[in-house]
Structure 1
Amino acid sequence: MNVEEPILGAESWTREDLAQVGKILDRSPAHLQGRTVCMELAEQLLFVRTKDGRTRPLRANAVQQIFEQRRGQRNIVLKARQMGLTTWTAARFFLKTITHPGAMTVQVAHAQDAAEEIFRMVHRFLDWLPDELREGPLRTSRQNARQIVFPEIDSQYRVVSAGDRNAGRGWTIQNLHCSELARWPLNPAEILAGLRAALAPGAEVILESTPEGTGGCFYEEWKKADETGTVRHFFPWWMEARYRGTAVDLASLTEEENKLIELHGLDLEQIGYRRHLRASFHGLAQQEYAEDAESCFLASGESIFEREPLERRILDVPEPMETRCNGELRIWLPAVRGRRYLVAVDPAGGGSEGDYSAAQVIDMETGMQCAEFAAHMGGFELAQKVKELACEYNQAWLAVERNNHGSGILALLETVCTYRNIFRQSGQMGWLTSSVSRPAMLSRLNAALVEKPELFMSRELLAECRTFVRLPDGNTGARAGTHDDRVMAMAIGLAARAEMLEGGNRN
């Protein structure tokens, strides 16, 4: 194939033609004027859904073009929100997958809903290819929520979430994209290490995220990029052409705004947008819309829990001595005869989507976390499960949040399950989480994490603490795409335990 000629007639390509294109994908022939074959092919073949809901050919924006020109074999990208890097990575890796026989591409999103969105994008690339390609060398043998397989070229494309503990196991990966690495749940460094172990020699890797505080896997990867031979890419918010607002008055410019104009060439409409960001996002503006590669880390990570003891404890937590119910119940310290326990429950509605129902088993004397249960479970099934757990732990007190779904669980526990040791507040069954009690509960949990981090055994609980943040509206809760059910169950447990101890162990 002559790389000096325009790339046309893709609909008639054979398997051999695709493989020939794969060999020149990263070249920049003279007639493309600095653009790569990959960029040209993406704009000829691939379609995306635009912000107004239309399906149109992909046109690389400034950020995507700069990344394509600067990227190396290993890359780490620090960026502001919605710069188009995930879209471009999906496009680039899709083209590499269909032009390199035997390739496996894996994109790892921070949450399941994000993984599904990425895969919809990849499916759209496939669906809009010329019929001759889709029915010929790029016919598929499998398409589901996680995988596309091209049997004629022995290649496949997978999109998974970082919560999938089996991601990478038994695979040989040629193209790996880790999206929003700073927001991965559980133990990001461990998951990333497992994926790296699956990389083929010469594999292309892209780690990408908005920042989330100093510390954590993404921050560490960014810091050590030079020593690992990883190319750093930083994209501040003003590189996105859409980020413009109403022009501000020249006379109103602050010293900081004048400096940005001088250093980066911002105009008055961009300064207007910047003011809008700070009014809307407050302290989160520098995290979500980064301006430099240092202060964005320092300004981000608005977790309400102290970071340092949290990170230290995550590294030291022990593995559970027993795991049951397909991993939903994990036990570190079994019940000891004569000891008293409390089981704290944060109920949800059940079903495979949405929040988990979570329960924490706490030693009444020490406050030690003994066991943890979390599952998409509700109604009678949940009531029966937490009763069994409480019975196992010496007829433990059951402290169930009575808000929302909790009132029904409490009724089932009392009338159907006939469980007697139910925690009460002022004579009423259950724990009430209110605008008054919630801050105090979370403050108590934070103090325990700082003063006695050894009380906490669950890595998943601590990971939820990492992403339990102060939200733009001033409230607190799980960052988008994450959960806080284990956190709230533990906060309920520690607060209920404190009330019982202060009241002489009486309800």
Structure 2
Amino acid sequence: MAKHHSKTFDIHIQKEAFNDVYLPLLHCQKRYIVLCGGAGSGKSVFTVQRYLYRLLTEPGRNLLVVRAVQATHRNSTFALFHQMIGKWNLTPLFEIAEGLERIRCKNGNEIIFKGLDNSEKLKSVTFSSGELTDIWVEEASEIEEHDFNQLAIRLRGGTVSKQIVLSFNPVSVHHWLKRRFFDHPPKDAVTLRTTYKDNRFLSPEDGAVLESFRETDPYYYQVYCLGEWGVLGKSVFDAQAVNRRLNEIRSLPVRCGSFVCCEQDGTLHEIQFIDEPDGAIRIYSPPKPGVQYVIGGDTAGDGSDAFVGQVIESRTGRQVATLHRSFDEDVYAKQMFCLGTYYNNALIACEVNFSTYPVRELQRLRYPRQYYREIYDSITRDMEYRYGFLTNRITRPVILAELIRIVREQPELFCDERTLNEMLTFVRSKDGRAEAASGAHDDCVMALAIAFAARHQAAGPIEEE
């Protein structure tokens, strides 16, 4: 039997049977293999092919295949193993128990299929011989992180190397999989992102169907066909443009930190920027002499969001810096003061919906340039002027519509990853309101929209110190 196995999986046959993009992972020994990609990318087929190869050539390997719901195995993973065994003419080497959804290799290695909807049955998984060595979590984006942690705990001890493979479509930018394996990848993990363009076995008809979504549904094409991070819903921003920009940006902030200063004679002096690895302020482009800047500010409101500042060049609209942190209001006001001073006494347009304190604090500290709004007094028939930007049912849709247009036409203006990711989770609700998706935030988007809305007041000479 060993000779037959060797002949079946001769290296030349391997190269013909597998998509080239996956071949480097065939013998990978990392603890975690994370396959992230769009529809038709062949990641599930490769996973089945790889496990068949390992089960036939490596003694003492037993595989547990997991999905969120047990019943989904029959028409997905179990069916795919069955199909591939027949396609590779391996039927004499396997015993397939249809009703039990269990596959046994003649060399003693086994495959068991289970769902997370029955945790008790999952705990009782045992193999005819040997120990559990491998877990494949198909559609891993459907399971919770605590369930994954429990699976990982099961792979410990023993004499045979252990491994977990996760395969999924990256539908949500806020998913734990992105945070755990892509934002901060562990050393014992390897990730691979693929699309239908990497699958040379995809039929021309299926490829044409996926390609057609490029024009008919750009968001679906970007997220479900190209496997870009998105949300379970439609972003009000051009998701294709935003994802393209996310893939383009490579540079980290020029500086990261916060300001220190001292208050004297009712204003701030001795302003210095202190570099900190995890500082509240990210500077992507330092101030240029003679350039006008605008800072849009979004306050924390009910405390669920951070205080944010978005700095843009007044003329070009280019994003040059961000401030993002959960502050006390007085600290936020002082950081905005210092940030504005640093950027040539930038025009500061701070939201006043929830609190006027930051605006009043900037006024007390005699910050030289704040955005003002006009208020008509129907009794005196005079026009009054108040500091701060008021976001209401009239102004909100207007400033968001303008930002949506700018992002669609000039995505290259934006360089902050947090802001771009937030755009992807800014969706249209059932009642038509543009807002953050459930569990997401809108503070970066709103601060940026306010900055663009205030640009018209930024004209004028730079204030000399």
Contact 2:311 2:320 in 1 (8 A): yes
- SS for the counterpart of 2:143 is helix
Task: Write 1 or 2 for the structure with the bigger share of strand.
Answer: 2
For 1:24 and 1:98, how far apart are their aligned partners in 2? 13
What runs of 5+ residues in structure 1 fail to find an aligned partner? 1-21, 47-56, 61-71, 80-84, 104-171, 206-216, 230-285, 288-292
Report the residue type matching 2:164 in the other structure. N
- SS for the counterpart of 2:322 is strand
In the alignment, does 2:365 pair up with 1:432? Answer: no
- SS for the counterpart of 2:252 is coil
Which of 179, 184, 188 aligns to 2:173? It is 184
Q: Which residue of 2 aligns with 1:467?
A: 425
For 1:387 and 1:178, how far apart are their aligned partners in 2? 47
Which of 360, 365, 388 aligns to 1:411? It is 360
Q: CA deviation at 1:347?
A: 1.0
Q: Which residue of 1 aligns with 2:296?
A: 344
Contact 2:373 2:389 in 1 (8 A): yes
Q: Which residue of 1 aligns with 2:235?
A: 303
Q: Which residue of 1 aligns with 2:349?
A: 399
Q: Cα 1:505–1:196, aligned 2, differ >3 Å: closer, same or farther?
A: closer
TM-score with structure 1 length normalisation?
0.49
- SS for the counterpart of 1:309 is helix
Report the residue type matching 1:408 in the other structure. Y
For 2:167 and 2:64, how far apart are their aligned partners in 1? 21
Q: Cα 1:96–1:356, aligned 2, differ >3 Å: closer, same or farther?
A: closer
Q: Cα 1:314–1:174, aligned 2, differ >3 Å: closer, same or farther?
A: same
Q: Which residue of 1 aligns with 2:438?
A: 480
For 1:193 and 1:42, how far apart are their aligned partners in 2? 24
Q: Cα 1:344–1:199, aligned 2, differ >3 Å: closer, same or farther?
A: same
Report the residue type matching 2:363 in the other structure. E
Contact 1:360 1:490 in 2 (8 A): yes
For 2:425 and 2:331, how far apart are their aligned partners in 1? 29
Report the residue type matching 1:373 in the other structure. L
- SS for the counterpart of 2:294 is strand
Which of 156, 175, 178 aligns to 2:164? It is 175
Q: Cα 1:466–1:30, aligned 2, differ >3 Å: closer, same or farther?
A: closer
Q: CA deviation at 1:473?
A: 2.7
Q: Which residue of 1 aligns with 2:370?
A: 422
For 2:290 and 2:335, how far apart are their aligned partners in 1? 22
Report the residue type matching 1:183 in the other structure. S
For 1:412 and 1:41, how far apart are their aligned partners in 2? 57
Which of 495, 498, 501 aligns to 2:456? It is 498
- SS for the counterpart of 1:342 is strand
Q: Cα 1:452–1:391, aligned 2, differ >3 Å: closer, same or farther?
A: same
Q: Cα 1:177–1:485, aligned 2, differ >3 Å: closer, same or farther?
A: farther
Q: Which residue of 2 aligns with 1:223?
A: 196
Task: Write 1 or 2 for the structure with the bigger share of helix.
Answer: 1
Which of 321, 329, 338 aligns to 2:254? It is 321
Residues 350-399 of structure 1: CA deviation (Å, up to 9, x unaligned)? 96xx3111101122222221111111123101111111101111221110
Q: Cα 1:473–1:194, aligned 2, differ >3 Å: closer, same or farther?
A: closer
For 1:75 and 1:224, how far apart are their aligned partners in 2? 23
Q: Cα 1:197–1:475, aligned 2, differ >3 Å: closer, same or farther?
A: same
Q: Cα 1:306–1:505, aligned 2, differ >3 Å: closer, same or farther?
A: farther
Which of 124, 135, 154 aligns to 1:98? It is 154
For 2:287 and 2:349, how far apart are their aligned partners in 1? 18
Report the residue type matching 2:242 in the other structure. L
For 2:122 and 2:319, how far apart are their aligned partners in 1? 53
- 1:48-447 aligned at under 5 Å gives the runs 57=120, 76-77=138-139, 85-86=142-143, 91=147, 94-95=150-151, 97-101=153-157, 174-175=163-164, 181-185=170-174, 192=181, 198-199=187-188, 221=194, 223=196, 301-317=233-249, 318-325=251-258, 326-349=278-301, 354-405=304-355, 407-415=356-364, 417-426=365-374, 427-447=385-405
For 1:495 and 1:41, how far apart are their aligned partners in 2? 51
TM-score with structure 2 length normalisation?
0.53
Q: Cα 1:176–1:196, aligned 2, differ >3 Å: closer, same or farther?
A: farther
Contact 1:38 1:95 in 2 (8 A): no
Report the residue type matching 1:336 in the other structure. K
Residues 40-86 of structure 1: CA deviation (Å, up to 9, x unaligned)? 89899x5xxxxxxxxxx5689xxxxxxxxxxx96665298xxxxx41
Q: Which residue of 1 aligns with 2:34?
A: none
Q: CA deviation at 1:469?
A: 0.7
Q: Which residue of 1 aligns with 2:271?
A: none
What runs of 5+ residues in structure 2 fail to find an aligned partner? 1-59, 66-94, 103-109, 124-133, 203-218, 259-277, 375-384
Structure 1 residue ranges, 4+ long, deviating more than 4 angstroms after superposition: 22-25, 27-32, 35-44, 57-60, 72-76, 89-93, 176-180, 188-197, 224-229, 297-301
Q: CA deviation at 1:481?
A: 2.2
The structure with more radius of gyration: 2
Q: Cα 1:193–1:86, aligned 2, differ >3 Å: closer, same or farther?
A: closer
Q: CA deviation at 1:100?
A: 2.3
Q: Which residue of 2 aligns with 1:449?
A: 407
For 2:401 and 2:438, how far apart are their aligned partners in 1? 22
For 2:183 and 2:437, how far apart are their aligned partners in 1? 25
For 2:428 and 2:117, how far apart are their aligned partners in 1? 40
Q: Cα 1:299–1:223, aligned 2, differ >3 Å: closer, same or farther?
A: farther
Q: CA deviation at 1:308?
A: 2.8
For 1:338 and 1:505, how far apart are their aligned partners in 2? 8
Q: Cα 1:444–1:40, aligned 2, differ >3 Å: closer, same or farther?
A: closer
Report the residue type matching 2:408 in the other structure. V
Contact 1:350 1:379 in 2 (8 A): no
Residues 209-263 of structure 1: CA deviation (Å, up to 9, x unaligned)? xxxxxxxx9xx7463685699xxxxxxxxxxxxxxxxxxxxxxxxxxxxxxxxxx
Identical residues among aligned pairs (%): 25
Q: CA deviation at 1:475?
A: 1.1
Report the residue type matching 2:143 in the other structure. T
- SS for the counterpart of 1:181 is coil
Q: CA deviation at 1:32?
A: 9.1
Q: Cα 1:439–1:91, aligned 2, differ >3 Å: closer, same or farther?
A: closer
RMSD: 4.7
Contact 1:341 1:394 in 2 (8 A): yes
- SS for the counterpart of 1:182 is coil
Aligned residues: 305
Q: CA deviation at 1:316?
A: 2.2
For 2:239 and 2:427, how far apart are their aligned partners in 1? 11
For 1:41 and 1:337, how far apart are their aligned partners in 2? 62
Q: CA deviation at 1:338?
A: 2.5
